Chain A
Amino acid sequence: MNTKRNENEFEPKILGFLCNWCSYAAADKAGTMQKPYPANVHFIRVMCSGRVDPQFVLKAYEEGADGVIILACHPGDCHYKEGNLKAVGRHNMLLRLLKQFGIEEERCRFDYVSASEGGKFVSVITDMVGTVKELGPLCLNGK
């Protein structure tokens, strides 16, 4: 993989909320597998995807994030029974709200990644970075 960056190319800032029990472990797994993926996503470990308050997502955009990704356990695997189901409902509703604000839905992604899915983790992150890169920077409040 060519890691040299083109200086003129837009490098998006993306915030990732990773569940402690699945996707955060999947990120570790990707690390031990030595699978490279773009470094544009800043990860925040949360105890459960159900902890991700929609305020966090909006705040991230306000503070300059070009995209936000929330990764959760597969249905039925949630350490707290149904935190991931709360997250999926909120994400669905948030997408509809963001659309009215003119923010593309690709900028707010939700996916399921289990602790063993290091490969899926890499492909989801790579895909997200590529999509946001194509969309360009998010310009909120005239910034």
Chain B
Amino acid sequence: MTKKPGLSMYWASSCGGCEIALVNINEKILEVIDKFDFMFCPCLLDTKKKDIEALPDKSIEITLFNGAVRTEENAEMANLLRKKSKILIAFGSCSNDGCIPGLSNLYSAKDHFDTIYLNNPTVSNPGGIVPQRETEVPEGTLHLPEFYDTVRTLSQVVDVEYFIPGCPPESNQIWDVINSVIEGVKLPPKGSVIGAGTSTVCDECEKIKEDKKIDRFYRTYEIIPDTKKCLLEQGIICMGIATRAGCGSLCPKVNMPCSGCYGAPDGVLDQGAKMIAALGSILNLEGDLTEEEITGHTNKIMDSIPDYAGTFYKFSLAGSILKNSVRK
């Protein structure tokens, strides 16, 4: 019997949803185990880091790496798995673009520690104790990995072959990728986004799209949308227009606006900036308004969104052009 190619899956700064998405391919997981030697996955298997360290370099065929790089430990595992894998895939939004963990890049590591351990109204910490890299105890010195000042994406830390976006990636898309490897389909060029489309969610969305001109934005609780019409045309901030296709427009299909989890489509550097470009062009500023009236009117429309960075970069802040806030 020839040796089966190795498969591994690791979570760094993530929620575990990517592992769920993998096992959501249901009974096909048996086929995966039949074709691959599932070597490492802390969520599902008992193999340890030392087992991976003992392997020769490049001995794992494919590693699906989900999670962003928040701590020194995340970076260490990213480097280790890079060394041991032939194909390293950034799997899921966190490792692609930072996802929800990436939103913390609007604040520094110190801001986080101050809020979490000192200033939170529900925290009582009279000693002002915050986590230390090293702590002396009678038994010796305890070490904690460094909590970096920013969250980074996998490709900002190590070289990555492919990118599978999504929060989490859709199970049918995961299966398509795995199946094409099983069937020996020629792999796309390095750096490609796989398991997703190239265009936008709007391309897959079946709602009726007409000319867009809006007078105000609505948050989802403020309006009951017309289920046939484009949500954006109704003033609901649907990120579909600046988000990569691949999910089958699952959220708009049930009248929830797309929140952008598949990241930027092909040819777009920055999802948030592209969303601004799109929204800025559909504001209704018609009529002979003066300069002051235009400013007043746009201000009124804009005031209805409380959190621009959180809305436009919910999934892509760490991978955006600016990456993090200015540290004062």
Contact = CB atoms under 8 A, between A and B. Distances in A.
Interface in B266-287: 268-270, 272-274, 276-277, 279-281, 283, 285-286
Contacts, number: 107
Contacts of A86: 280-281
Interface in A38-89: 50, 53-55, 57-59, 61-62, 74-76, 82, 85-89
Interface string B289-328: 1110011001101100101110010000000111111111
B103 to A, nearest CB: 10
B309 to A, nearest CB: 4
Contacts of B160: none
A37 interface: no
Interface residues of A, number: 35
B325 A100 contact: yes
Given A58-B270, A75-B289, A94-B276, A88 B308 contact: no
A103 to B, nearest CB: 6
Contacts of B281: 50, 86, 89-90
B118 interface: no
Given A87-B280, A100-B308, A100-B309, A75 B294 contact: yes
A89 B309 contact: no
Contacts of B307: 100
B321 A89 contact: no
Contacts of B295: 88, 92
Given A50-B281, A101-B309, A93 B276 contact: yes
Given A85-B294, A89-B283, A93-B302, A101 B289 contact: no
A112 B301 CA distance: 21
Residue with the greatest number of chain A CB neighbours at <10 A, chosen from B295, B299, B305, B321: B321
Contacts of B324: 101, 141
Given A86-B280, A89-B298, A93-B280, A55 B269 contact: yes
B177 interface: no
A58 B321 contact: yes
Contact of A90 (B280, B305, B327, B328): B280
A55 B322 CA distance: 10
8 contacts: A75-B290, A82-B286, A88-B280, A88-B298, A100-B106, A100-B307, A102-B326, A102-B327
Given A55-B270, A89-B285, A101-B324, 11 more contacts: A55-B269, A55-B274, A58-B270, A82-B285, A89-B283, A90-B276, A93-B280, A101-B322, A101-B325, A102-B328, A139-B326
